[in-house]
Structure 1
Amino acid sequence: MPSPLFADRPAPRFPEHDAVDALIDRTRRLRGDVDAVRRGSAVIGEDDPQLRWQRALCDLAVIHLDDLDEHLGQLRAGPPARSADGAAPEPDLPGPGAPAAPRPGSLVGRVGSAEWNLLTDEVSWSEELYRIFGREPGAGPLSLDELPSVLPPEDQPLLTAMVTDCLVDGKPIDGEFHVLRPDGRTRTLHMMGEPVLDSEGCTASMWAVLRDVSELRRGERTVGRTRDSVRRREHIVRTEHRMAVELQEAVLPPWPGSLRLPQQGPGALDVAAHYLPSESSSLIGGDWYDAMELPDGRTLLTVGDLTGHGIPATSAMAMMLGALRGMAVAGIDPGALMGHLNQLLESSIQPALGSALCCRFDRATGILSWAQAGHPAPLLFRGGTGRPLPPPDGVLLGAASGVTYEQEDVRLLPGDVLVLHTDGLTRRSDRSAGPEALLGLAPRFARTRTAQECVRTVVEEFGGTERLDDACVLIARIGA
C-alpha cells in the first residue's frame, strides 16, 4: 500500500511557471536585503551583544530563505521524469534542462521519507534519507528494530516511545532526535509520520518524513545564546546605572533649596546647585558640585568633571570629592589643592582625566581665591551684566606630572552672583550654544532675589537642552 505522503511521489498539479518565477524573484531580492543587513552587522560592533544577536537572526533568516528558494526551484522544475516502468531516474544523472543539484546542506537535500511495512517486513527509503543518515544505498535501509542503534543512548527511549505509540495506539509521530552518522557527525532529525491502515482498520505499515534540522537548530541556538547575552548585558547596564545613580546621590549634597554659608553672621553666601542629566539617561558621569563651611569661617565652592561614565566615573568622582573636602578643611589653598588632586588622579588604579574648579570665599574681606584645572572659568554677574573671570593657568587633572596650578584673587561685592558650572551645561548636540548663552541670563539674574531663583532660571533655559553630557551648575549670591 503506498504511503499517503512519500518524498518521491509526484504531486498531481503544479502552479503556473510565471507565478513561481515571481515568488523566486521576490525571495531572492529579500534574501539579498537580509544578507546586506547581516554583512553590515558583521562589520561594526563585533563585541556588542545586541549586534551579535541581530546578526544571528539574520543568519537564521538567510537559512530559511535559501531553503525556500530551493523549494521554489524544484516546484518550477516540476516532478522528475519517470521511465516506462515507473522508476525515477538516478539523481546523479540529471537530464538536459534539469535543475541544479541542491546546495550542500540545503533543506531540499535534507528531507527524506521512509515506509516500514509490518506485513511483509519491507522497508522503503528515499534517496535523500540515505544521505541524511550517511548510509550507502547498497547497505539497505534500517528496519524499525535497527533504527535506534544509530541514535545516542539518551534519545533511544524517545524514538521507541514514538514508534510504539504510532503502531499500537495509532498516534501520529512528531518529534526530534539525534543520529550518529558513520562519518562521526551528529545530526538532528525531525520525524513526522502516521500509521497506514489496511481495509480492516489494522496497522499495516508506518510512513514517516524525516527532516535534517541540524543547521536550523544550530541557528536557533545561536539566536538564543545571543539573545540571552543581550539580556544579561541589559541587566548589567541597568544594575550599573542604578548603582552609579545611588553612588552619585550619596556623594552630591542633597540640597532641597538654597544653602546659607556660613549659617550665622553678615556677608554669608546664598548657595544653590542642580544636576542636569544628559539626553541619554545611561550616561551617568563624574560631574560634581559642592559647597561647605570651613573651620576658619571661610566657604568652599567647587565643581568638577571626570572623563567616563557609569560606576568607574562616579566612584572616581567620590574619591576626588572626598580628597578635595579633606584638603580644604586642612586649610590648603586652592592652587596647591589642585596640584594634590592631579597627583591623586595620576596614581589612581584607573587613570582618567578631569577638570575642576576650586574657590574659597572669605566673607570678612570679600575675597574669592580660586584655581582651575582645564575648567570653564566662573561667571560673575554684577549690575545686570556678566563676564567670565580671567583664569589662572592650570591644565587638566591627570594630564601631566609635576604641574603647578596658579591661583587668582577677586573681590566680590554684596549682590554679586557667581556661577560655577561644568562644560556639559552649555555644550549641545547641535554645537550652537556656549558660555555666551549663560551670560545672556544677566538681566534675569538681576531681577532674582535668591540663588535658588537663579538656578531655576538656568534649569528653565537649559533643562530641556539635548546635552551630549551630564552637567552641574552651582550659583552663589553674595549677601549684604
Structure 2
Amino acid sequence: MPSHLFADRSAQPHEPGSVDALISQTRRLRGDVDAVRRDTVVDDGDTQGRWQRALCDLAVHHLDDLGRHLGQLKEGMPPAPEPVAPPQATPSGAVPEPGSGPGERRTRVGTAEWNLLTDEVSWSDELFQIFGRSPGAGALPLDELGSTLFSEDQPLLTAWVTACLVDGRPIDGEFRVVRADGRVRTLHMRGEPVLDPDGCTASMWAVFRDLSELRRSQRAVRDSHDSLRLRREIAQTEHRLAVELQEAVLPPWRGSPRSPHGTAPTLDVAAHYLPSATRNLIGGDWYDSLELPGGRAMLTVGNLTGHGVTATSGMAMMLGALRGMAMAGIEPGPLMGWLNQLLETSAQPALGSAVCCAYDPARRVLSWAQAGHPAPLLFRAGAGRALRPPEGALLGATSGAAYGQAEEPVEPGDVLVLHTEGLTARGFDPGRADGTERLLALAPRFSAARSAQDCVRLVTGEFGEAEREDDACLLVARVGG
C-alpha cells in the first residue's frame, strides 16, 4: 500500500511547467522520428526499409496522440459530457461507431502481419481493440479479414490484397468494418508484401488507422454546408418572391415625377418605398392613392408585422380589401373596423397599423382614420404640424375595436405627408432628433417645392437609406388650386 506521503503528493495538482516540458520533449521526439522517416530511402527490394518506414509512421501517430493527451492534461479537467442519444442503426443494420465504448481505451493505429508460409498471424493489441475482437479469439487470417467489411467494400479489399500478393503493389486505401458489437469503423490500411530471398511473397504487413472520428466530422461539416446552402437558396427564393409580390401590388408609379394616372386632378401625389439598410428585409409596408367615385381621392399607407413572403402576401390581401371597400364608398373609420376584422380571421395572424384618408375636393376636407399609426403631417405656409388622431387601435390587436374618424380642412398649396414607422424610427441613437421633428423641420423647403415629387426627394435626402433598420413607405400629396 502506498504511504500517506505518496497519496498526498498524488493528490496535488500537476505543475504546469512539468507538463510544458513533457510537451516540448514530445514535439522534439516527434520531429526526430519524422526526420528518420523522411531520410529512409525505400527501394523495391528493401524489405527492411519498408518495415522501418511503417514503424516510423506508427510512432508518429502515437506521438501525435501523446501530444494531444498532454495538451488536455495542461488544460485541466474537461467539463462533464452531455448525455448522448442512443446510436441509430444504419440501413445495413450496423450501428455507427460514436467513439470508444465505456471503459474502452481509445485507439487509432494498429499493426498486423500475415506469414504466408507458416499461416501465422500477428496482430497488435491496438488492432484487436479497433476491430472489437478479443485477443483470446485470435487474429483473423488474411482470407477471413474481408468478412468483417461492408458487403460493398469486400471486393475492393480482395482486389487490393490480390494486387499486393501477386503483383507486389502496396495497399493504400479505406474501407468500413463492422465490429462484433455492431459498431461501424472506417479504417485506412497501408500494407506491402515482404519478399523472401527468391523474390516470392513470404508475408504481408499492414498498418491500420482508425479514421472514424475524422470521417464523421467531415460528414458533419459537409452536411452543415449542404444545410446552409439549402437555407440560403430558400431565403433567396423567398426574398425574390417577396420583392416580386411587392412590385406587383404597389402602384407602378412609385418614385415617378408624374402624378399617377387617374388621381384626382386637384392632388399632386408622389410616393416612394425606402428599403432597410440590409435591403433583404422586405416587410409588409404599403402606400396607395386611388380615385374614388364622385371625384374624391383615397390616400393610404400602412404596414404589417414581419418580413418576407408572409408579410408581403398579407399586405397584398389588406391593400386589396382596402381598395375594394374604398371604391364601395365605405368611409375611413368604418373601413378600419372591417380591416381589423379581416386581420382577425386571417390564416396568418399578424398585427398591422394603417392610416386612410379620403379627400373631397368640392369641400376641401380631408376625412381620415388611423389604426395605431403615425398621424399625417400637414404643411402650410412654411410651417408643419401633426394632425390630431382619432381613436384607433392596432389592426388585429382587439376584437371588435371601434375606430373614430376626423376631418381636417385643407387649402391650396398644403402638403400632406403620410409615412410608415420605419421612416422616422430613431433606433438606438438618443442624441439624434426625433424623426417627426426632422420631418416638420422641412416645412420651409416644402413651401418652395414645385411638386409632390420634389417633396419626396427632400424627405429621402434627409433620411436616406443607410440609417434605417426597417423598410418604410412615404406618400406626399400636394393640394392644387
User: Which category describes the TM-score, using the shorter chain as reference length?
Assistant: 0.7 to 0.9
1:23-47 per-position Cα deviation (integer Å, ceiling 9, x unaligned): 9559966999xx9xx99xxxxxxxx
Counterpart for residue 464 of structure 1:
465
2:349 partner SS: coil
Cα distance in 2 for partners of 1:26, 1:404 equals 68
1:317 to 306, 315, 321: 315
1:410 to 408, 411, 418: 408
Cα distance in 1 for partners of 2:57, 2:479 equals 96
Cα distance in 2 for partners of 1:243, 1:197 equals 69
**Distance change >3 Å, CA 202–CA 223, structure 1 → 2:** same
1:191-226 per-position Cα deviation (integer Å, ceiling 9, x unaligned): 122223344544332221112222222222222222
Cα distance in 1 for partners of 2:213, 2:67 equals 27
- Contact 1:384–1:445 (CA under 8 A) maintained in structure 2: yes
Cα distance in 2 for partners of 1:271, 1:155 equals 74
Q: Aligned letter for 1:134?
A: G
1:309 partner SS: coil
Cα distance in 2 for partners of 1:153, 1:23 equals 36
- TM-score, normalised on structure 1? 0.78
1:40-85 per-position Cα deviation (integer Å, ceiling 9, x unaligned): xxxxxxxxxxxxxxxxxxxxxxx9xxx9xxxxxxxxxxxxxxxxxx
Cα distance in 1 for partners of 2:77, 2:467 equals 39
Cα distance in 1 for partners of 2:204, 2:291 equals 91
- Contact 2:287–2:475 (CA under 8 A) maintained in structure 1: yes
**Distance change >3 Å, CA 254–CA 31, structure 1 → 2:** farther
Cα distance in 1 for partners of 2:250, 2:126 equals 71
Counterpart for residue 282 of structure 2:
284
1:145 partner SS: helix
**Distance change >3 Å, CA 398–CA 10, structure 1 → 2:** closer
1:385-413 per-position Cα deviation (integer Å, ceiling 9, x unaligned): 11101111100000111111111111111
**Distance change >3 Å, CA 29–CA 251, structure 1 → 2:** farther
The within-5 A match list for 1:287-306 is 287-306=285-304
Following TM superposition, by how much is the alpha carbon of 1:427 offset from its aligned partner in structure 2, in angstroms?
Answer: 0.8
Counterpart for residue 444 of structure 2:
443
Following TM superposition, by how much is the alpha carbon of 1:304 offset from its aligned partner in structure 2, in angstroms?
Answer: 0.2
Counterpart for residue 52 of structure 2:
4
- 1:248 matched to 2:246? The reply is yes
Counterpart for residue 55 of structure 1:
none
Cα distance in 1 for partners of 2:299, 2:410 equals 14
Counterpart for residue 434 of structure 1:
435
1:196 partner SS: strand
Cα distance in 2 for partners of 1:327, 1:407 equals 16
Cα distance in 1 for partners of 2:133, 2:117 equals 25
Following TM superposition, by how much is the alpha carbon of 1:8 offset from its aligned partner in structure 2, in angstroms?
Answer: 9.9
Aligned residues: 410
Cα distance in 1 for partners of 2:59, 2:307 equals 64
Cα distance in 2 for partners of 1:260, 1:251 equals 18
- Contact 2:58–2:207 (CA under 8 A) maintained in structure 1: no
Following TM superposition, by how much is the alpha carbon of 1:178 offset from its aligned partner in structure 2, in angstroms?
Answer: 1.9
- Contact 2:263–2:289 (CA under 8 A) maintained in structure 1: no
Following TM superposition, by how much is the alpha carbon of 1:425 offset from its aligned partner in structure 2, in angstroms?
Answer: 0.4
Q: Aligned letter for 1:329?
A: M
1:226 to 220, 224, 227: 224
Counterpart for residue 420 of structure 1:
418
**Distance change >3 Å, CA 218–CA 10, structure 1 → 2:** closer
1:302-321 per-position Cα deviation (integer Å, ceiling 9, x unaligned): 00010011111000000000
**Distance change >3 Å, CA 157–CA 10, structure 1 → 2:** closer
Counterpart for residue 179 of structure 1:
177
Counterpart for residue 375 of structure 2:
377
Counterpart for residue 335 of structure 1:
333
More displaced 10-residue stretch of structure 1: 142-151 or 169-178: 169-178
**Distance change >3 Å, CA 356–CA 212, structure 1 → 2:** same
2:282 partner SS: coil
Unaligned runs of 5+ in 2: 1-46, 83-98
Cα distance in 2 for partners of 1:226, 1:23 equals 28
Counterpart for residue 71 of structure 1:
none
- TM-score, normalised on structure 2? 0.78
Cα distance in 1 for partners of 2:238, 2:446 equals 38
- Tell me how large the CA RMSD over aligned residues is: 3.2
Cα distance in 2 for partners of 1:22, 1:214 equals 17
- Contact 1:373–1:395 (CA under 8 A) maintained in structure 2: yes
Following TM superposition, by how much is the alpha carbon of 1:282 offset from its aligned partner in structure 2, in angstroms?
Answer: 2.5
Counterpart for residue 235 of structure 1:
233
Cα distance in 2 for partners of 1:299, 1:127 equals 90
1:376 partner SS: coil
- 1:257 matched to 2:305? The reply is no
1:146 partner SS: helix
- 1:473 matched to 2:474? The reply is yes
Cα distance in 2 for partners of 1:474, 1:203 equals 89
- Contact 1:6–1:113 (CA under 8 A) maintained in structure 2: no
Counterpart for residue 210 of structure 1:
208
- Contact 1:176–1:189 (CA under 8 A) maintained in structure 2: yes
What fraction of aligned residue pairs are identical, expressed as a percent?
63
- Contact 2:275–2:465 (CA under 8 A) maintained in structure 1: no
Counterpart for residue 44 of structure 1:
none
The within-5 A match list for 1:23-422 is 24-25=70-71, 104=104, 106=106, 109-255=107-253, 256-260=255-259, 268-422=266-420
Following TM superposition, by how much is the alpha carbon of 1:264 offset from its aligned partner in structure 2, in angstroms?
Answer: 8.6
1:108-156 per-position Cα deviation (integer Å, ceiling 9, x unaligned): x121011122333322211101111122212221121111122232221
2:366 partner SS: strand
Counterpart for residue 35 of structure 2:
none
Q: Aligned letter for 1:166?
A: C
Cα distance in 1 for partners of 2:159, 2:166 equals 10
